[in-house]
Structure 1
Amino acid sequence: MPRPRKSAFDEPYIQIIDRLIARRKALGMTQVDLGAAYGEDQSFVSRVERRQRKIDVWEFVRWCRVLNVEPREVLDGIEE
């Protein structure tokens, strides 16, 4: 029987978002700054960071590019 689909609140996803938030803050970027660089508004960034909106693979890659971090660095060590 297939495993149930993962939710936005599963631990690995939470870790990924937490790492993206930490990277944004380490760069001294606000949600407004990130949104502008990403091409969205602050509320979009807020919804993602509060895990109200899940990002897909391509959005994750774009997010990492804006934060000047390799996707593999964000994913390194995250396990199910």
Structure 2
Amino acid sequence: MEKTIYSGQYALFIKLLRAAREDAGLTQEEVAARLKATQTFVSKCERGERRLDIIELRNWCKALGIPAAQFVAELEKKL
């Protein structure tokens, strides 16, 4: 079984994650500050070098000002 971090589905996930940040008008630095993380962490997540678990995704969505359910629904729609 292929590791999901290298799958097309995960590539779509991180593409939507970056798009959500850009749609919110936020920089990586601003998201990092809201997450109490570093800009490097945000960058690695958006490049797919660092996986997000469901709790981290929920916090990320809160930082972007969108419901996690909305983000997941958009992902499901695109998949």
TM-score (normalizing by structure 2): 0.83
Residue of structure 2 in register with 1:73 after alignment: 70
**Higher Cα Rg, which structure:** 1
Could you say what the CA RMSD is over the residues aligned between the two structures, in angstroms?
1.5
Residue of structure 2 in register with 1:61 after alignment: 58
Following TM superposition, the consecutive aligned residue runs of length 4 or more in structure 1 with deviations greater than 2 angstroms are: 4-7
Compare the two structures and name the one with the higher helix fraction: 2
Residue of structure 1 in register with 2:37 after alignment: 40
In structure 2, distance between residues paired with 1:55 and 1:61: 10
Residue 72 of structure 1: how far off its partner (Å): 2.0
Give % identity. Answer: 29
TM-score (normalizing by structure 1): 0.82
Residue of structure 2 in register with 1:30 after alignment: 27
Greater RCO, 1 or 2 (C-alpha within 8 Å, sep 6+): 1
Residue 10 of structure 1: how far off its partner (Å): 1.4
